[in-house]
């Protein structure tokens, strides 16, 4: 048995194989603090709401946190910010540990292999991902796993481009960062991230409209469409503006990094986009329009969105984990087995 985990700023998602099915478990990577009372704790326990008590406070964690935040008109708090563990949140370590334990569960055997996603160091920030990566390794090791990091962009390649010999441009539009990987036959040619993603869109929209961030996030996740038919002035109009700006920013940096890496001209590659930020209908169409106008020294055969954007990175981490686990029978056989199951 092997597992894969997408450690995202907005969601934590695990993937494991059960026969011919891939089983996903997810939790929102957030929490909200409420005052402790015996009655409150009893009601939370009876309702199977994920929570922990600390001193005179109760922390509601995961998917239920956003619901409680809206009821009590509170802002949710995050263990992670900009794609890595938050240095500003004093409760980051115990909260993400609890959510991680809920998502991945106990290993089925000692030192079961698990690949977990980690972002590349952003090219537009001095953030380092090393502490984040090593801390997660320690947590997963304590649970009983044998952990291995995988670049988030490369996980997209493993998940979505098996039918193109793991060759193409994979872009994960997450909440905290956007991760990019150009791969040629499963060999990463270019990997980088930028410190902008869905959170940046939500924060800018909230500032522009005067709404709180959680309300903006709810609007974006429920029925927002990226088709520019919404009148300017409201939350959806502002979301469209900042989505447009994010796509231009990502493409600008793709062009810059391709030139810096001296990528061979003449390539004809597919592009796949994934991540929760890519979920709104119309996203891939707008991205393709912007990409076709960019001065990139290779051609794009097509742009598509992953069928399940929220699960794509976890699936790719699982592919990497199972491929390694099956390497005793030969890499080609293991990769063929994974491709057939996908």
For residue 265, is pLDDT > 50? yes
Same domain, 280 and 191: yes
Same domain, 254 and 301: yes
Q: Record the pTM.
A: 0.85
In angstroms, what CA-CA distances link 52 with 14, 29, 212, 260? 21, 15, 26, 48
For the stretch 223-262, pLDDT in tens is 899 876 766 778 999 999 999 999 999 999 999 998 877 6
Q: How many domains does the chain have?
A: 2
Q: In the sheet that 145-151 helps form, which strands lie side by side, from edge to edge? A: 21-28, 11-18, 2-7, 112-118, 145-151
What residues pair up with 149 in beta bridges, in sequence order? Answer: 116
Same domain, 32 and 79: yes
Is-contact 33 68, C-beta < 8 A? no
CA–centroid distance for 8 within its chain = 4
Spatial separation of the C-alpha atoms in residues 89 and 108, rounded to whole Å: 33
What residues pair up with 53 in beta bridges, in sequence order? Answer: 58
What residues pair up with 7 in beta bridges, in sequence order? Answer: 12
Which CATH number does the domain housing residue 83 bear? 3.30.420.40
Same domain, 151 and 164: no
Same domain, 74 and 131: yes
Same domain, 198 and 123: no
Same domain, 10 and 117: yes
Spatial separation of the C-alpha atoms in residues 5 and 109, rounded to whole Å: 17
For residue 327, the model assigns a pLDDT of 60
Same domain, 299 and 328: no
State how beta strands 145-151 and 168-173 pair. unpaired
Same domain, 123 and 173: no
275-280: average pLDDT: 92
Helix (H, G, I), strand (E, B) or coil at 81: strand
For the stretch 70-113, pLDDT in tens is 777 777 899 999 899 999 998 899 889 989 998 999 999 999 99
**Which candidate, 308, 316, 7, places its Cα nearest to that of 174?**
7
Same domain, 172 and 146: no
Same domain, 164 and 289: yes
For residue 195, the model assigns a pLDDT of 95
**Which structural domain range is residue 196 located in?**
160-305
For residue 336, the model assigns a pLDDT of 42
Same domain, 66 and 198: no
């Amino acid at each position: 048995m092997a597992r894969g985990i997408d450690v995202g700023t907005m969601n934590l998602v695990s993937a494991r194989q059960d026969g011919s099915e891939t089983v996903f478990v997810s939790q929102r990577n957030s929490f909200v603090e409420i005052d402790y009372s015996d009655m409150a704790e009893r009601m939370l326990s009876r309702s199977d709401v994920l929570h922990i008590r600390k001193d005179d406070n109760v922390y509601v964690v995961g998917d239920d946190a956003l619901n409680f935040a809206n009821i009590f008109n509170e802002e949710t708090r995050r263990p992670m910010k900009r794609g890595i563990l938050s240095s500003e949140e004093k409760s980051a370590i115990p909260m993400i540990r609890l959510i991680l334990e809920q998502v991945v569960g106990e290993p089925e055997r000692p030192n079961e292999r698990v690949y977990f996603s980690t972002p590349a160091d952003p090219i537009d920030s001095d953030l380092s991902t090393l502490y984040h990566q090593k801390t997660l390794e320690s947590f997963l090791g304590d649970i009983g796993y044998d952990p291995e990091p995988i670049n988030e962009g490369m996980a997209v390649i493993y998940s979505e481009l098996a039918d193109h010999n793991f060759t193409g441009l994979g872009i994960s539009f997450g909440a905290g960062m956007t991760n990019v990987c150009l791969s040629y036959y499963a060999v990463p040619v270019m990997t980088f991230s930028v410190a902008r993603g869905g959170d940046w869109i939500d924060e800018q929209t909230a500032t522009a409209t005067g709404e709180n961030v959680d309300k903006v996030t709810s609007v974006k996740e429920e029925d927002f469409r990226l088709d520019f038919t919404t009148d300017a002035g409201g939350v959806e109009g502002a979301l469209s503006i900042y989505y447009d700006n994010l796509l231009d920013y990502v493409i600008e940096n793709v062009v810059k990094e391709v030139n810096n890496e001296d990528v061979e001209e003449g390539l004809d590659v597919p592009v796949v986009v994934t991540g929760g930020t890519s979920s709104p209908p119309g996203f891939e169409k707008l991205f393709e329009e912007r990409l076709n106008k960019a001065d990139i020294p290779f051609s794009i055969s097509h742009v598509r969105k992953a069928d399940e954007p929220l699960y794509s990175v976890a699936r790719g981490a699982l592919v990497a984990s199972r491929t390694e686990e099956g390497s005793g029978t030969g890499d080609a056989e293991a990769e063929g087995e994974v491709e057939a199951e996908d």
